[in-house]
Amino acid sequence: GTPLVAIVGRPNVGKSTLFNRLIGRRKAIVDDQPGVTRDRNYDTLEWNGQEIGVIDTGGYLPKTHEHIDLAVREQVEIAVDEADLILFVVDAKTGITDIDEDLASILLQSNKKTLLVVNKVDSVEWEYEIGQFYNLGLGEPIPVSAITGKRSGDLLDLIIEHI
């Protein structure tokens, strides 16, 4: 079937913005889908003739939820079970947070293929922030700017390579 890529990460790193960028349109969050895609956005895209399914996790997590860590961790665990490839999104403007470290260790232990995506690298000045993310132990950080679309084609090339 169609390979499945899941976008995971803590709130506000830009998962939904990246999802919309990758699928090439804005998509309203659909809340009444049955089963595993509930509370999440799903769509497919085609890149170099390859069809890929993409899930944006955390679509309905309230950003101030008191159990936000637990909720995000649960989303990551589901994504690990379901997806062929994980896009773990972190934020160049905030740097590494406790939740990021938590999620990184779950992903490391899962042995699931993971691309470490550093979002919000909107301009050259933010490129100095990229190196710190090597500390998450998930390999080479991949800079993108979901808002400007910078390097989203490079990211899609890498997704095809790793799927």
| Single residue of 16, 114, 119, 145 touching Mg ion by CB under 5 A | 16
Within 10 Å of residue 71's Cβ, how many Cβ atoms? 16
Point out which span in 10-18, 35-43, 82-90, 114-122 binds Mg ion (CB under 5 A): 10-18
- The count of residues interacting with ligand GDP (CB under 6 A) is 14
12 binds ligand GDP (CB under 6 A): yes
146 binds ligand GDP (CB under 6 A): yes
57 binds ligand GDP (CB under 6 A): no
DSSP state of 120: -
CA-closest candidate to residue 152, choices 67, 72, 87: 87
119 binds Mg ion (CB under 5 A): no
Q: How far is residue 70's CA from residue 154's CA, in Å, rounded to a whole number?
A: 32
Q: Can you list the positions of beta strands (E) in 48-141?
A: 50-56, 85-91, 114-119
41 binds Mg ion (CB under 5 A): no
13 annotated to a ligand binding site: yes
43 binds ligand GDP (CB under 6 A): no
Tokens of 110: 């899962």
CB 21 within 8 A of CB 151: no
Place of tokens 């990551």: 76
| Single residue of 14, 53, 141, 143 touching ligand GDP by CB under 6 A | 14
Task: Output helix, strand, coil percentages for the chain, rounded to the nearest 5.
Answer: 40, 20, 40
**Shortest distance, position 148 Cβ to Mg ion, whole Å:** 18
Point out which span in 9-17, 28-36, 69-77, 107-115 binds Mg ion (CB under 5 A): 9-17
Binding residues for GTP: 9-16, 56-60, 119-122
